Each structure stands twice: as structure tokens, then as C-alpha cells.
Amino acid sequence: MRLFAIVYLSLLTAIPSVSQEMPILQLYRNLLANSPNGDNTRSVDIFGELDDVRIQAASEDEISAVAPLALQCIRSSNGELRKDGFVFFLAAITRPDSGKAIGPYIDNLGALLNDKDTAPRRTIFYILGSLQPKPPEKAIAYLEANLENSRNSSAETITIAVSLIKTSPNDNATVHKVLSVVTSRSDDNVTGSVIRQLGLSRTHAPEAIGFISTSLDSDRPGVHESAVDAASRLNKDQRAFSSQLARIASDPKESPNVRNQAAQALKP
């Protein structure tokens, strides 16, 4: 009997608990189990619990298992719990396999876009557009379907447009759709953000190059400065902007920063 007890205790210590094997899963189980009815602030520091080391070290199975629990949090009437649900997805998209692990729940996230009371649309757009190693086609479909949505704020339009450019910077059809929306909105924040992303993504789509060139001559400061920034990043296409950049680099009316950026771009 004593031998049995020793063996039993050994097995208990040898078999890790769920919380040891899957700490993030256990965290979300506890959040749901202990959730108050109101919006009380809880003692759990969700940002500390989901630090980069822990989220990267978690298995794909754990991430997949937590996702439906995070969605339950998002659907909760508790404001704190809703935030916790989104925090999980924002942490999970930093993983190189997030597209695979979160992929099965894209429709669940997409459905929230029509929920006026629960979902911050910009956050959902950001999550869909940030899945790695690249957003699945279903995620892209939601972004494209909402690109021209009249409900979009400037920030939401920027998030969608930038995500689409990052994913397909040289796809002529995608670039055309995005630039058509940018032109129709005539919003300097939207225009400038998209132009900068075209530069960051090293686009060589002809329509994008033409748009940057036109924007270099814009009298809208934010658009003009964004175009200089974008043109300075497009190594192979800088010769298309060389005369414009040379003029900007020598124009005393330009800010020192813009003149310097244009001058640096002209260097071989």
C-alpha cells in the first residue's frame, strides 16, 4: 500500500497540470469563470500575462484552443472582458504562424464588424490584415469588402488600405482599388498614410509610381511630404522622380527635413 502511494504521488508530480502545459488557456478559462457582471476593473494584468515570450512560446494547439475563449470574452457584456478578448488576438498576430492558428476564426471576427455595440472595427481590420506569414484569402476578402464602406472612419480606411498594400504592393488590381478610394475620399491623412506605405512596401506598380509622382507636386503639405518619403525608398524607381527630387532638394521654401530627404534619395 505504501509503495502504491509513493508511485501515485510520483505520477502526480510527473504529469503537468493544464495550467503548466497551457498557461494562456488556463488564464482565459479563469477570466471567463470569474467574470463579474459589471465593468469592474480586475486585478489580472492581461498585458503582463500575454508578454511576447509567453505568446511566442505557446504551442499552436494552445493558441487555437484559446481563440474561441477569447471570442467569448469579446461577446461578453463586461467591458473589461471584451478588451481581454481583443488583447489575445492582438498578441497572437505577432506569431509567425498566426494565420494558421487564427484562420479558422476569421469569419467570427468578420461577423463582429456589423456589431455596433461590441467591436472596435479598426482593431478587427488590423488583426485581419496582420496575420502571418500573410493574411489568408478570407481575411483579405473582408478587408476588400469593407474598403469602400461609408461607415469607415479615416483611421479604419487607413488600416484597411495599408494592410492591402502591405499584402500585395505590386498587384495592379489591388493598388488600383486602394488608390481609387484614396482619391475619392480626398483625406490628407488617408492619402499620406497610403503613399508612405507604397514606399515602405517598395511598390513598382505603374499606377502607384504615377500617384507618388503626382503627389510630389502636391500643394498639400502632408501629401507632399509623404510622397518625398515614399520616393526616397523606391531605389529602382527613383530615376522616375529625379527631376522632382532635385527641385525639392534645392527649394528654400521646403523644410530642412524634406530637402535633406530628397537630397539623400538622389545620392547613388
Could you check whether the bond before residue 133 is cis, i.e. omega within 30 degrees of 0? yes
DSSP-based three-state secondary structure for 130? coil
Residue ranges per structural domain of the chain: 1-146, 154-268
DSSP-based three-state secondary structure for 219? coil
Closest by CA to 131, choosing from 158, 156, 169, 163, is: 163
pLDDT tens per residue across all 268 residues of the chain: 454 334 333 433 333 444 457 899 999 999 999 866 544 445 467 878 888 889 999 999 999 999 999 999 999 988 889 999 999 999 999 999 999 999 999 999 999 998 766 569 999 999 999 999 999 999 999 999 999 998 899 999 999 999 999 999 999 999 999 999 999 998 999 999 999 999 999 999 999 999 999 999 999 999 999 999 999 998 766 678 999 999 999 999 999 999 999 999 888 7
CA separation (Å) from 68 to 33, 72, 96, 249? 14, 6, 20, 54
Determine the Cα–Cα distance for residues 130 and 163; give it in Å rounded to an integer: 7
- Mention every residue, 6+ apart, whose C-beta is less than 8 A from residue 265: 228, 231, 232, 238, 241, 245
154-268 adopts what CATH topology? Transcription Elongation Factor S-II; Chain A (1.20.930)
Q: Are 137 and 145 in contact (CB under 8 A)?
A: no
- Mention every residue, 6+ apart, whose C-beta is less than 8 A from residue 54: 23, 24
